[in-house]
Structure 1
């Protein structure tokens, strides 16, 4: 039996073969390059979406609860929420729930706001002065709504910075007037930038006293009274969030005389984070699977090219075996060629993917990122794919009969 060739010599022959066919090698690697770049890019974008959603939710405050009208069925069906929350509910929560620090009832409506010849469609919120502390908002210029504004139902408004740029692109907005449904309001403050929450840009909103909202825009329902869009509740601390949620639920069930299904829901930041993490995690997994299909296609491409290579190099294989090479030497050579193609393609694809993730993070608001573990896993997976799909061509080359192979010379 012929002695086994040193592994270094076998590897060297494999590398020389790849260098001799540079264009074919590059085209063969292209599938793995695209696959790895796709996995890195898509997973990075998916994680960026998750990070963005979590950052936005963290702005709400760890001890903030939201009481919203309607039950799970109405939210799933997308129908209009019933008028199940009233101002008296908010007052009862503030006075009867011991674990609650502040309560901020809110009525929200989409309106066209005008200032001179300029106009913008914006979300108008009727709020109380507690809104600023409960929602952790800040005022950049001027002031926020006061108790006097609320009690006197004054026609004053505080606007977001983006809305200010639309209506008052030059000069100060403080002291100037705007019109909502032909009602005149004086601008008394401009909010500090807040960004988007739940997909809504908070910097385009306007805030007026809740009493003004009821008396001049929405009116009072003769049956239900002052119907609220939702109620923001600040628990005394993060540890009080659970008890506050339980106490609010029981209180509203008693007030609404509920026997079976609630006509409201109490949501915390933790609940929202759980939902968002589930959705974005599934999205990231799906995007990674799509990229994985590209890797699979790249592996199949390597196998096809290597099978063609075996057919083209029949004489070379036969001559090597006739000169004493063992079947295992031929097997290792072809496996090394497949592994090098896949690993090198994986490294190039990873570099391209990391560049794409960095570009997305730099150009867009999406904080795209990728973990080192994912990068290592992807590179390892590409090398494994090369070995897996290289086995069939390598075995076919190793099983060639040298006599039959030499007949083709």
Structure 2
């Protein structure tokens, strides 16, 4: 019997038992859909994290108070080892940097008329705009004069401006932070959150004003900062800038052994994020791949049942001249058809799942053609592998015994 005839017979047999064939494919469908969806979601999450880190600004280093071990232990109170004077020293004495922006953030109730929002209040300097790659949508940003005079001026994030002012014009109006009035001088362009802080829903004031009027002086060495953002001249200068900053701060802090700060580069953050999201993607795909194995076992079980049910048919075909190879090929074709059909449907379901997640989530999962190819190939291979046992069992049936047992 030629291959086309075996194929026609296999399709006829499978379509004659639609419910059983559909249930047999279900495991493969779920497995393929899970693998494709999980890989796509994992890659989308990785791309989303990378975009968030890239939005921090070009060639940026972050200097954080406290050593890495202290941060990892998660102490109740953040270390107070960095001050504005450190940022000024870096700007003046480190030739490899072009911008330095100290930041101190706290949470407070911000009010306008009868509207209020419990949000982040960020103290910074004019360098914040360039170092962190922000743009002003309306008005202006903080100036050096605002910082020197402890001016009570504020720049709002786009989301906060919308929440507080709605149809009103924010520029020139007053908002109150902890009972202190601030004149709104600008509104930022939409940027999104990064480093755990949503600047779109924040108010930015001069760091000197924040220290003197809102949080008070909390460090004996000057105005405390949560971290310092530093922009290097170019990507090649980042290692040099990190080395120079570390030496300068060690000298300023009289450090002889362990640093009381650590420097985090954008590349390091990207590498860590890529490692974590990549590992999660592999783990999710591996878990989803178990469904493919379960689907293959389901195919083998159903095919074994099919062999028992079709004993008379097998015996009759052998009696009229069908060879063992003909029987073997037919059952193998049936198993492969079930696997490929299940894989194809599973691929469509997986792609639909990715599109659904993309519509409701902040990141955009992509359809990985590599994942699709691997999933469909594996599902076809699983059908071939798990179809061998029932196919060989059918091929070895003795025609006389088969006809008698029917």
Q: TM-score range by the shorter chain?
A: over 0.9
Q: How large is the RMSD of aligned CA atoms in angstroms?
A: 1.3
Cα distance in 2 for partners of 1:319, 1:22 equals 24
1:123, distance to aligned residue in structure 2 (A): 1.1
1:356 and 1:219 map into 2 onto residues whose CA distance is 51
Determine whether 1:7 maps to 2:3: yes
Question: Is 2:80–2:219's contact at 8 Å kept on the other side of the alignment?
Answer: no
Q: Does 1:372 align with 2:372?
A: no
Identify the range of structure 1 (141-150 vs 192-201) with the bigger mean alpha-carbon deviation. Answer: 192-201
Partner of 1:395: 392
Query: How far apart are residue 49 of structure 1 and its match?
Result: 0.8
Say whether residues 1:72 and 2:68 are aligned partners.
yes
1:100 to 72, 97, 108: 97
Which residue does the alignment assign to 1:46? 42
Deviation at 1:401, TM superposition (A): 1.8
Counterpart mapping for 1:232-381 below 5 A: 232-381=229-378
Show the counterpart of 1:204.
Answer: 201
Q: What are the superposed Cα offsets for residues 268-316 of structure 1, whole Å, 9 maximum, x if unpaired?
A: 1111100110111111111111211121111111111111111111111
1:156 maps to what in 2?
153
Shift in Å, 1:52: 0.7
With over 3 angstroms needed to count, the CA separation of the structure-2 counterparts of 1:344 and 1:77, relative to structure 1, is: same
In structure 2, runs of 5+ residues without a counterpart are: none
- Structure 2 counterpart SS, 1:17: helix
Matched, 1:35 2:28: no
Counting only pairs closer than 5 Å after superposition, residues 57-206 of structure 1 correspond to structure 2 as 57-79=53-75, 80-206=77-203
Is the CA contact (8 Å cut-off) linking 1:83 and 1:224 kept in structure 2?
no
Look up the match of 2:228: 231
TM-score (norm 2): 0.97
Q: 1:105-163 CA deviation, whole Å, 9 max, x = no partner? A: 11111111111221111111110111101111011011111122111111110010111
Match of 1:384 in 2: 381
Deviation by residue 1:7-64 (Cα, 9 ceiling, x = unmatched) = 2222222121112112211121111111111111111111111111111111122311
3-state SS in 2 of match to 1:350 = helix
1:67-92, Cα deviation, whole Å (9 max, x unpaired): 01122212222223211111221111
Q: Secondary structure at the match of 1:35?
A: helix
Which range moves more in the overlay, 337-346 or 83-92?
Answer: 83-92
**Segments of 4+ in structure 1 off by > 6 A?**
none
